[in-house]
Amino acid sequence: MLIYLTILILVGIFISFLKIQEKENKKNIEKILKSLKEKKIYEKIPSELKDEYMETLHKIIKQDLELDNSLVELREYRKELEVTYNTLLEKSKKLEYSNQSLEAKVTSLSNINALSRTVLSIMDLDHIINIILDAYFVLTGAKKISLYLWEDGKLINKKTRGDIKFRGEISFSQEELKGFTYQDYKKVYEDLKKEFKLKEGEIIIVSPLLIKEKEFGVIYIVEDEDRFTSNDEETISALGIQVAISINNAKMYADLRIKERISQELEVAARIQEKILPEKITNVFGLQVEKYFDPAKEIGGDYYDYSKIDDENFLITIADVSGKGVPAAFLMALGRSIMKTLETQKLSPAMTLKLLNKIIYPDITEDMFITMLHSNFNYKTKILTYSNAGHNPLIVYRAKSDQIELHTTKGVAIGFLDSYNYKENQLKLDKGDIVIYYTDGITETENHEKELFGIERLKKVIYDNKTKEPSQIKDIILDEINIFRKGYQQVDDLTFVIIKNTEAEITE
């Protein structure tokens, strides 16, 4: 019993010791953990735990340092992220602005493209200008617009929109404009710009209308300064180009229409001219007759005529009006109509030319005149009576002497003097004789070397073909001219009449 009691007491004492030891251990553990947490060395560490404790403490200190470093790096990284974010945000804003600007430009270009298709289908200049000016108000911040165009050396106001009172005009001679440079035109536009009266806060933009150094005019656009944008500037520039192109097209179309109308009228005039020339005649009073007329332009100033006025007399006339084209043709037609009237009076060639000159002189300009050779062939006498008003001499082949001769009289061209007495000469034609009436379009035919065909070549052609009929001689003359010219352009009217006498004088 006592033994059991003793054992129980010892067990109790042991348990109490264990509890005291446990408490002590617990305190030590707490102190150890606290030292580790504070990263301070705990001196009373049991020897058996000291190595492990020190190793653990070093690891904690090392990890703590690494964590501190990581936090610093994280903070730096965060700062970098914030900078990158702000940069991206700024770029995003700029990109959004660029996007909006690009969309505005695309829209503007689309509108200008649509406008271009519209105006290119219109050829009326006023209509085009109205459409274009409307576009300025729609596509830009324009408040007022004034458009000027060059016409015959004058810069003229053609159209205004908005409250613009000023409509100035500037004038230059054609010679001055020929020497104008881009800077000269720019100065003109800038000087005119100063005349516009602007309200406070308004600006004026000068938009020249120019294509390939060809000046058409200028547009002045008035805007509020605070509303003017770079997009407006680009749109105004694009519209200026479109205006210039449209105006150029409209003017080209108008010129083309005029040219087409003139061409049609010239075709009619050419047909009329062809109709008023005498019909082909091959033989009259024993004369073989051949003629040729080819104007350098649609209509010409050369003139030839022949007519049988009675049973004995046959008139032959050739003339050359100074110049070419329409003015020369008008004067030729006037001269012909007067000649036809005078021929009915059966006057001598000299008197006919005198009266023609007297009638035409008051109505002819100083820079125009008519050279003419007028003749009458008498069937019975075989005498050719002629008078010359400054025209080329007759080329005559004499069958009896087998020679080429030149025959003429002195006389001024029709329209030079108010009153002039023309002279006459006579030429008796024997059988086989040939006479050539011609204008200087033949003798002055040029080749690429600027050589002239000349009268000597013409005389040789006639002599070499003296035995042939006039129709054959005509073809040979034309062939020789073409060979000589070698494709060089015809610069003057070609006209000639060939007569060949096939009968001897009639004796009673």
Number of H helices, E strands in the chain: 11, 16
- Residue with the larger pLDDT of the pair 489 and 101: 489
The string of pLDDT tens digits covering residues 255-289 is 777 777 766 655 665 665 566 677 888 888 899 99
**Residue 413: closest CA among 389, 388, 392:** 389
pTM above 0.75, yes or no: no
**Nearest partner of 193 among 228, 164, 226, judged by Cα:** 164
376: pLDDT confidence band, cut at 50, 70 and 90? very high
The mean per-residue pLDDT over the stretch 23-28 comes to 64
Q: DSSP letter for 227, please.
A: G
How far is Cα 87 from Cα 329, in angstroms, rounded to an integer?
Answer: 83
Rounded to whole angstroms, the Cα distance separating 446 from 228 reads: 64
Place of tokens 């516009």: 196
- Contact yes or no for 494/474 (Cβ under 8 A): no
Residue 72 pLDDT > 50, yes or no? yes
SS3 sequence, 170-182? EECCHHHHHCCCH
The DSSP symbol for 417 reads S
Mean pLDDT of 410-426: 93
Q: Does residue 69 surpass a pLDDT of 70?
A: yes
Provide CB contacts within 8 A for 177, sequence distance 6+.
150, 153
Task: Tokens for 77, please give them.
Answer: 């990284």
Q: Where in the chain is the domain with CATH 3.60.40.10?
A: 278-501
132-141 pLDDT, tens digit each: 777 777 777 7
Distance CA 230, CA 140 (A): 10
* Percent of the chain whose pLDDT exceeds 90: 27
For residues 60-88, average pLDDT: 76
Residue 409 above 90 pLDDT?
Answer: yes
The boundaries of every CATH 3.30.450.40 domain in the chain are 122-257
The CATH code for residues 278-501 is 3.60.40.10
Per-residue confidence band for 17, with pLDDT thresholds at 50, 70 and 90: very low
Please state the rounded mean pLDDT for residues 165-183.
85
At 144, list the tokens. Answer: 């007022």
SS3 343: helix
170: β partners: 155
pLDDT-wise least confident of 99-108, 135-144, 165-174, 437-446:
99-108
Mean pLDDT score, 44-61:
69
* Mean pLDDT for the stretch of residues 484-501: 88
Max mean pLDDT range (191-195, 237-241, 503-507): 191-195
Query: For the segment 470-488, what is each residue's pLDDT rounded down to a tens digit?
Result: 999 999 999 999 999 888 8
**Cα Rg of the chain, angstroms:** 55
Question: Out of 3.30.450.40, 3.40.50.10190, 3.40.50.2300, 3.40.50.740, which CATH number does the structure's domain 122-257 have?
Answer: 3.30.450.40
Residue 111: pLDDT band with limits 50, 70, 90: low
**Distance from the Cα of residue 235 to its chain's centroid:** 23
What would the mean pLDDT of 114-143 be, rounded to a whole number? 69
Side-chain-facing half-sphere of 164: CA atoms under 13 Å: 25
Q: Which segments of 22-171 are extended strands (E)?
A: 144-151, 154-161, 170-171
